[in-house]
Structure 1
Amino acid sequence: MTVVDHRGETVRAQRATVNGVRLHYRIAGDGDPVLLLHGVPKTSYYWRKVLPHLTPRHTVVMPDMRGLGDSEHAESGYDMATIADDFAALMAHLGHERYRVVGEDWGAAAAYQLAARHSEHVVQLVYQEMILSGFGLEDYSFLTAENVASYVWLWHINFYAVPEFPEMLIAGHEREYFSYFIKHEAQDATAIGEDAIDEYVRCYSSPGGLRAMANIYRATLTDAAQNREAAKTPLPMPVLAVASDPFIGADNARVCREVATDVTTVSFPYGHQLAEECPDDLAAAYLDFFSGGTP
């Protein structure tokens, strides 16, 4: 799928082997570097509408997470600490010593571990629409009347944790499954174009794609232990907590305040897929936050 910068020029895809895994990424723009980290079940294509707002002022790096998109479907290493080390190694490979990190959904979980493990390199953190394992994510997965009624019941956390069955049941039905899943989490389902669905179905249908996705969830308890340990030392950099009012909402800021001391918040009246639903407003919030910090 084509991704363009603010000039309308196609952003060329590249690959690099770092931390023992071959990552696929795009890089565009000029200026202080920003690392954009996507969630699940998405790829770096998720950021295509936000990217042109950032490239006039920043060098933007958009990788596919280990096992997802066109990155290598590695056999192991799906805990967020290892994935954070992947991204730190990629930025070092590209020559970026100090950079800003934006993560959404599982990309936010990886961004937190990156900021905690490599704080000397992270200038600012944008933490968007995620509950950290060990800080309430598991509670969202419980079968309770409140969770079901909220439409934020994360039943899939437990489903994906079961060995082999998710792969067997989803295979052959990727379009129906992922189209429903992604649009269900949006306030405006029409904001999710067929181009995005095509891209996600292509990637998650590839050999090992479903297994890699499920392995991220199978590491949830490992992540919880890692996050609780990391949180013993609060993040030293400024954090922008970005939330969807109807989805993660106030819990997004609550998590950030439990792991960091300098937290600013912003929320939007859209669904979980903010970069799809309100990319202009979202990018404006990022740039406003970035203007308050220099590498």
Structure 2
Amino acid sequence: MTMHDHRGHPLTSDRTTLGDVTLHHHSGGSGPAVVLLHGIPKTSHHWRLLVPHLTPDHAVVVPDLRGFGDSSHPVDGYDVATLADDIAALMATLGHQQYAVVGEDWGAVVGYQLAARHRDQVTSLTFIEALMPGFGFEDHTLLSPENTQGLFLPHVGFYFMPDLPELLIAGHERELVEATITGERTVPGSAPAEVIDEYVRCYSHPDGIRSLLSVYRAMLTDAEQNRRARQQPLRVPVLAIGGNAFIGSRNEEVMKLLAQDVRGHVFNCGHDPAEEVPDEVAGVLVPFLAP
């Protein structure tokens, strides 16, 4: 779907081949570069409401991650380090030698790895509504009275099973996407039918669900990669954003384990602040990104 800048002009939509993957991406605006990384089960379309706040002063790049949206679906490469290296290669190919990184959900974990692996390129990290493999994510997959009353993620263990998730989800992509998206939001009207339709279109690709499951199945590898990266804490500024009905202040807590300069903000919303309260997010993000 078309994404627009602050003047209502459509962003450029293109595809760039980088080794074993072809990444679809939107781009527009001018100024210091910022790349926006989506989570699951979403695509680059997640950022459509935030982009017009950024394009007046930034060159914005909004890719679909490997295996998602209109990017290609390689067989492997779904660990967060490889996903991060894809984005670094894309930004270099587009001519951006330095850039800010904004990530949400799994895209925030990819963003952390991008900042850790490409320190000379990344100028700041915004980490939105994500749990970090290796630093507490796994705790929320365990069945316990505390988790069932708070943040419990039963789908993670299911996704790890070989073959069965693919069999059961096939033909039910809409039910999975709609239940996940609507179940994690608290702001009425933030998941309109046309947005659900766009996400369903992408995840109904023959390899769409396989790619989603591959990301989860790489989580133990991700945990090892994150623990190694922590040995050298990030020095760039980090903005940790949460929704009070979901991960909330845990975003700031975990990033303080991984970075030296962390500030946090919690909004009155669920798991998807950029779609639930985009104007409020922009009010915090734009000043943070200002040179």
Q: TM class by shorter-chain length?
A: over 0.9
> Aligned partners of 1:165, 1:230: CA distance in 2, in Å?
33
Match of 2:70 in 1: 70
Match of 2:239 in 1: 240
Q: What amino acid maps onto 1:62 in structure 2?
A: V
Match of 1:173 in 2: 172
Deviation at 1:270, TM superposition (A): 0.5
Match of 1:182 in 2: 181
Match of 1:192 in 2: 191
Q: SS at the partner of 2:189?
A: helix
Q: 1:103-122 maps to which residues of 2 (within 5 A)? A: 103-122=103-122
Deviation at 1:260, TM superposition (A): 0.3
Q: SS at the partner of 2:149?
A: helix
> Does 2:57 correspond to 1:57?
yes
Deviation at 1:91, TM superposition (A): 0.3
Deviation at 1:79, TM superposition (A): 0.2
User: Considering only aligned residues, what root-mean-square deviation do their CA atoms show, in Å?
Assistant: 0.9
TM value normalised by structure 2: 0.98
CA-to-aligned-CA distance 1:149-195 (integer Å, 9 cap, x gap) = 12x21111111111121111111111122111111000124211111
> Does 2:270 correspond to 1:262?
no
Deviation at 1:207, TM superposition (A): 1.1
Q: 1:139-218 maps to which residues of 2 (within 5 A)? A: 139-150=139-150, 152-218=151-217
Q: SS at the partner of 1:191?
A: coil
Match of 2:133 in 1: 133
> Does 2:249 correspond to 1:250?
yes
Deviation at 1:19, TM superposition (A): 4.2
Match of 1:287 in 2: 286
Q: What amino acid maps onto 1:266 in structure 2?
A: H
Is contact 1:38-1:65 (8 Å) kept?
yes
> Aligned partners of 2:159, 2:18: CA distance in 1, in Å?
27
> Aligned partners of 2:224, 2:112: CA distance in 1, in Å?
14
> Aligned partners of 1:259, 1:221: CA distance in 2, in Å?
18
> Aligned partners of 1:19, 1:85: CA distance in 2, in Å?
11
Is contact 1:15-1:24 (8 Å) kept?
yes
Is contact 1:183-1:189 (8 Å) kept?
no
CA-to-aligned-CA distance 1:203-235 (integer Å, 9 cap, x gap) = 000110000000000000000000001001000
> Does 2:219 correspond to 1:220?
yes
Q: SS at the partner of 1:130?
A: coil
Is contact 1:37-1:103 (8 Å) kept?
yes
> Aligned partners of 1:114, 1:96: CA distance in 2, in Å?
14
Deviation at 1:2, TM superposition (A): 2.0
Q: 1:88-107 maps to which residues of 2 (within 5 A)? A: 88-107=88-107
Q: SS at the partner of 1:190?
A: coil
Q: SS at the partner of 2:124?
A: strand
> Aligned partners of 1:79, 1:189: CA distance in 2, in Å?
34
Instruction: Please identify, of 222-231 and 167-176, the stretch whose mean Cα deviation from structure 2 is larger.
Output: 167-176
TM value normalised by structure 1: 0.97
Match of 1:276 in 2: 275
> Aligned partners of 1:63, 1:31: CA distance in 2, in Å?
18
Instruction: List, as ranges, runs of 4+ consecutive aligned residues in structure 1 with deviation greater than 4 Å.
Output: none
Is contact 1:99-1:122 (8 Å) kept?
yes
Is contact 1:19-1:89 (8 Å) kept?
no
Q: SS at the partner of 2:201?
A: helix
Number of residue pairs matched by the alignment: 291
Gaps of 5+ in 2: none
Q: SS at the partner of 2:264?
A: strand
> Aligned partners of 2:231, 2:188: CA distance in 1, in Å?
39
Deviation at 1:267, TM superposition (A): 0.8
> Aligned partners of 1:114, 1:29: CA distance in 2, in Å?
22
Q: What amino acid maps onto 1:174 in structure 2?
A: E
> Aligned partners of 2:188, 2:68: CA distance in 1, in Å?
23
Q: What amino acid maps onto 1:271 in structure 2?
A: G
> Aligned partners of 1:144, 1:37: CA distance in 2, in Å?
32
